[in-house]
Amino acid sequence: MPVKKSSVSETQTATQVVATPKKTISFTLPRPAMPKSWTPILMGLLLVASFLLGMLFTKVQYMSSGSGYVAPSAAGQQAAGQPTLAPGKPVDVTVGNLPVMGNKDAKVKVIEFADYQCPFCEQWFKTVEAPMIADYVKTGKIAFYWRDYPFLGTESTDSANAARCANDQGKFWDYHDYLYTHQGQENSGAFSKDNLKKFAADMGGLDTSKFNDCVDNAKFAKDAAADLSDGQKAGVNGTPTVFINGVPVVGAQPYDQFKSAIDAALAAK
C-alpha cells in the first residue's frame, strides 16, 4: 500500500527519510508553527539576554580601565595585577603593628591579610578563625596577627581605619569581630562612616566622641595603606591570604588545611 503525504495546514514542513528492507520511502511530517502567545516570552528572554551581555561588557571595560573591579575566585577575593604566591614557599613577612592574639612568644606566627568587605574573609572568620583560636591561640601554641589589605573600595579603607580607631582604645579584636558579623554588599553603605560610628556605639566600651573624630579624620588610613603595600610586596594577590611562619595558604580553604599547616610548623620547630 503506497504511503501518502500527510496533509499539512502550516506553511513549514520537515522531510523525514525512513529506510525499509526493500526501498526508501520519503514523506513529509508537519512542523508545528510557533504559537503567537510565545512571542512576548521570546521578546522577554531576548531582553534579559541583552541585559546580561551588557553587564558582562561593562565589567570587562571596568577591568580593562584599571578601576579596580575584581571577580571573586572559588576560594578567595582576587586582586588585580599581583603575582601568584608559590605554594609551600616561605615568604619574609612582618607581623605589623596591630595587637597580637595569643602568645606573642609562640613558636608559630599566623598572619592574616584580609579585607573587612571580602565575603571569603567573612567565611574564613566563621569557619577557620573560630576553631583555630580554640585549638591553638587559647592553648598558647600560636600567635595570631591581622594585617589590613583594603583593596575593594572606599568602605574597605574606612572600615580598616575604624578598626584601628577602636584599637586606639584597646578594642581592636572586638571591633574586628563586630565588622565581620555586620558585613553587607561591597561599597553599598554597610560600612559607611555613619554605620561605623553606630557600630562603636552599639558595641559599647568606647569613647564614641573620640572614636567618631578618628573615623571622620581618617586618622589611621595611612597605616592601613602601609599594610596593603606590605602585603603586595609579600606577594599577596587576594584575600584572605594567611602566612603560617611565612608559608602562605591562600583563600577560605577548609579548616583542616590550616590545621595541617599549623601542625607541620609546630613539628618543624
All structural domains of the chain with their residue ranges: 77-268
pLDDT at position 84, please? 52
Alpha-carbon distances, residue 32 vs 13, 85, 143, 219, 263 (angstroms)? 8, 59, 72, 71, 67
247-253-259 Cα angle (round to 5): 60
- The answer, yes or no, to whether the previous bond of 254 is cis (omega within 30 of 0) is no
pLDDT at position 22, please? 40
pTM of the entire structure?
0.69
What percent of the chain stands above pLDDT 70? 67
Beta bridge partners of 16: 27
Give phi and psi for 143, each to the nearest 5.
-110, 130
- 241-244 and 142-148: which strand pairing? unpaired
Domain 77-268 fold is Glutaredoxin (3.40.30)
* Ranges under pLDDT 50 in the chain: 1-29, 47-48, 50-74, 77, 79-83
Q: Could you give the angle at which helices 208-216 and 193-203 cross, rounded to 10 degrees?
A: 160
